[in-house]
Amino acid sequence: MKKLLALSAFTVFATAGAQTLNTQPFELGLTGGYASGLSGEVFVHAPFIAGPFGVKAGVAFTRAADAINDESDLGAGPFSGYKQAGATESGSHLVVSLDGTYSLGEVAPGLDATLYAGGRYGMFRATEDYGSGLNTTYTSNAFGIGAGLMASYPLSGNISLVGDLGVDHFFDATISSNTNAANGPRSDTFAPGDPSYASIDNRFVRPGTNFKARVGFKFIF
């Protein structure tokens, strides 16, 4: 009898907990726009974990608009001169974010707004390519912080239009370079404070303070 009562009580509490969890909205979003280049982000958001406070996690990918500083010079002339001779550049940013959110509620008819702030982890990459297998790739992973504002407007059913304006800041971090040259491959590492760090830091374009603007859709479950 005691086991039956205990099992019944557990079932009641489990059912109540599941119903409570199911009443909390869950959002899945996809946005695109600009953040130092053409950028897109996928995010998940649990908006009302404790009153107006929630949690949002996201992954953003950006195709860098500028990967190598044209005016940078590592001792053999600025990169712009190599570009005129046919060299190319490319780069990407992959940023993982975790934010706390605060719902401002309906700030205009049908328009909801949410503030967010939290941590960032950015994985940055840039390549200068001279053709014939000659190239140098720079990589750096850096921690950062960010904040912003999301606004959403319902379209139909559980689909809403969402806009995101924000700013991220990334701190200095170690830079690695891998070079394929005529005399063979070479790898180097440059930490903040190293004598050569400033010149490599100037050549490898990646976000310091980064403004972003994206628009897209979110689905509410």
Q: Is 98 helix (H, G, I), strand (E, B) or coil?
A: strand
Range of 214's domain?
25-220
| Domains: count for the chain | 1
Confidence check: pLDDT of 13 > 90: no
CA distance 88 to 109: 49
* Rounded distance between C-alpha atoms, residue 64 and residue 199, angstroms: 20
CB within 8 Å of 89: residues ≥ 6 apart: 66, 67, 68, 79, 83, 126, 127, 128, 129
How many CB atoms are located within 10 Å of the residue 43 CB? 23
Does residue 12 fall inside a structural domain? no
Select the more confidently predicted residue: 206 or 23: 206
Q: What is the pLDDT of residues 109-123, one digit of tens each?
A: 999 999 999 999 999
Domain contains 209: yes
Give 14's pLDDT tier (boundaries 50, 70, 90).
very low
What would the pLDDT profile of 129-158 be if each residue is shown by its tens digit?
Answer: 999 999 999 999 999 999 999 999 999 989
* Whether the predicted pLDDT of 88 surpasses 50: yes
The whole-angstrom distance between residue 156's C-alpha and the CA centroid of its chain comes to 28
At residue 100, the pLDDT reads 98
Confidence tier at 24 by pLDDT (50, 70, 90): confident
Give me the pLDDT at residue 197, please: 97
SS3 at position 80:
helix
In a domain, 139, yes or no: yes
pLDDT at 23: 59
DSSP for 166-200, please give it: EEEEE----EEEEEEETTEEEEEEE-TTSTTHHHH
For residue 18, tell me if it sits in a domain: no
Mean pLDDT of 78-92: 96
pLDDT one-digit tens code per residue, 46-75: 999 999 999 999 999 999 999 999 999 998
Q: What are phi and psi of 74, to 5 degrees?
A: -95, 15
Note whether residue 172 is domain-resident: yes
Going 129 to 125 to 81 to 172, the CA torsion angle's sign is: negative
Give residue 7's pLDDT. Answer: 36
Confidence class for position 3, pLDDT limits 50, 70, 90: very low
With 80 as the cut, is the pLDDT of residue 18 above it? Answer: no
103: domain CATH number?
Answer: 2.40.160.70
Name 103's bridge partners: 114
